[in-house]
Every structure is written in C-alpha cells, then in structure tokens.
C-alpha cells in the first residue's frame, strides 16, 4: 500500500508541476489586472521555480504519515521540523544572499528535497529494523 500511495503522490505531483509550468501565468493572471506589471512577472518567474516543490512534498507528507501510523513520532517530528522551520529558514537566509528573490522562491523546494533525503534515510533504517513493513506483510501475533 505504501508503494501505491507513493506512486499516486508522485503522479499527482508531476501533473501539478507540468500544469503550473505551462499554465501558471494564466492562473496568476486571475489576481492581476495587467500581465505587464513587474509584480506579475516576479510571480510568474517565482512560480516556475516554486512548482518543483510539487514533485517532492507529497512523498515527505506520505513518509511523515507513515511514521505516525507506525507509532514512530520521533521520525515524524524530525521530518516535519526539517521541512518547516529548519531547512526553509536556512534556505531563505543562504539562497537569498546568492540568488536574490529567486533564492527565496527556491528555498522551499530545496528544503523539501533535503528533507526527502533525510526521510528516505530514516525510512531505510526503519525498514531494516522492521522487515516487510513497506509491503504490508507484517504478521500480527
């Protein structure tokens, strides 16, 4: 079931990413009177950077939820903290210095990517301790 959920999450993420990459300007135009304004341009450029988050964040939420279901609150909290205040604040601070406004937009996708790396490591370590837990074949006593 975990793998199925991961495939569905990833598929939806890819779909949202593609739609917003190609039609994000039209969506943003709903909030602006003119597509000629500088703010509109910043929003469109930012959306093209930010949409990468949709390729990753569903897996982070899935893994967090999975750890919660296993009763492993520690790993859930670690993932939630990393994808929230920890990596985002570090990303905004560091990336903004080097990339300006684009760094601010890129901070959240980068935070999600770094969090996914940690989450996958935690998932692998948990799997080693609990063989078969991803396949749903844990036998109850």
Backbone dihedral angles phi then psi of residue 137, each to the nearest 5 degrees: -105, 30
Residue 26 lies in a domain: yes
Residue 135 lies in a domain: no
Residue 116 lies in a domain: yes
Residue 112 lies in a domain: yes
Residue 58 lies in a domain: yes
Of 86, 3, 87, 100, nearest to 45 (Cα)?
Answer: 100
130 pLDDT band, cuts 50/70/90, is: confident
- Dig out the tokens for 50 from the structure: 């930010």
User: For the chain, how many structural domains are there in total?
Assistant: 1
127 pLDDT band, cuts 50/70/90, is: confident
Residue 137 lies in a domain: no
Q: Which domain holds residue 119?
A: 2-129
pLDDT score for 136: 53
Residue 139 lies in a domain: no
56-87 per-position pLDDT tens digit: 999 999 999 999 998 999 999 999 999 989 99
Residue 10 lies in a domain: yes
pLDDT score for 2: 86
140 pLDDT band, cuts 50/70/90, is: very low
């Amino acid at each position: 079931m975990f793998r199925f959920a991961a495939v569905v999450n990833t598929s939806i993420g890819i779909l949202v990413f593609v739609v917003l990459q190609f039609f994000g300007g039209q969506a943003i135009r709903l909030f602006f009177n003119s597509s000629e304004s500088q703010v509109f341009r910043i929003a469109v450029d930012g959306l093209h950077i930010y949409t990468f988050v949709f390729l990753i964040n569903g897996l982070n939420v899935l893994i967090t939820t999975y750890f919660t279901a296993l009763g492993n609150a520690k790993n859930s909290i670690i993932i939630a903290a990393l994808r929230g205040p920890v990596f985002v604040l570090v990303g905004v601070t560091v990336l903004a210095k080097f990339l300006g406004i684009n760094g601010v937009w890129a901070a959240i996708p980068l935070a999600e990517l770094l969090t996914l790396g940690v989450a996958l490591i935690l998932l692998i370590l948990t799997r080693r301790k609990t063989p078969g837990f991803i396949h749903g074949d844990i036998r109850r006593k």
